[in-house]
Amino acid sequence: MKLNWNTLKVVLVFVVIVVVAFWAVDSIRSRSYSGTDLSFDTSGGTITITNLSDNPAAAQFTSSGSRTFRVSSTIDGVGGASTRVGTGSTRTYQFDFELPSGTSDFTISGGRGVRFVSATDTELQATVNPMSSESRRNTFIAVAVVILGALFYASHVFNHRWLNMFRTGTIAPDASSIPPMTASEAQGRAARSYGDNRANIGD
């Protein structure tokens, strides 16, 4: 199958659309974890953790980054800034707390590479939303702008001929693909010339 340059450009546009859509879905979708000795990366969204036992479980948020982070939660009295532990290359930031029975929500702000760690035999279930509501909304807007721009460009490549399909039910041919008419085709068949055959009246 022969592909011209315009067709190749449209194919590349749709590849970009698929890649952008996949990135958006992967960035927004939540991650789920469960089990004992639970450990996972957190992010800027909401973290929901369920303690399935009747007893509280020891847990902590920890980071080896160079900045402190803050924790807010739905647990009464649990929240605030992390504490620096150690110095130099072994320095970490930690926030220790007791995870009560039931479901609790957390939000981490600041810091970098923050992880949740619970080295206990308590069965836990967790759901991590990688983005806040505002970040998800901004991501949706950015992706929509990119996809609409890509579709407009693909339509522009073919001179928006798809619009004619809605008007007439058929797609107008590309003007560049119509061969030019020759002079003989434009003029048609030349008229045959005849002499004046009228009889001279009165001869």
Contact status, residue 70 vs residue 123, Cβ threshold 8 Å: no
- pLDDT above 90 covers what percent of the chain? 36
Contacts of 49 (CB under 8 A, 6+ apart): 59, 99, 103, 104, 105, 106, 116, 124, 125, 126
pLDDT tens digits for range 96-127: 999 999 999 999 988 888 999 998 899 999 99
Tell me how far apart the alpha carbons of residues 89 and 11 are, in angstroms, rounded to a whole number: 49
Residue spans of the domains in the chain: they are 1-29+131-157, 31-129
Q: What's the predicted TM-score (pTM) here?
A: 0.62
Number of CB atoms found within 10 A of residue 82's CB: 24
Token couple for 29: 């979708």
Contacts of 202 (CB under 8 A, 6+ apart): none
CATH of domain 31-129: 2.60.120
Residue 124's pLDDT is 95
Contact status, residue 93 vs residue 138, Cβ threshold 8 Å: no
Residue 82's pLDDT is 94
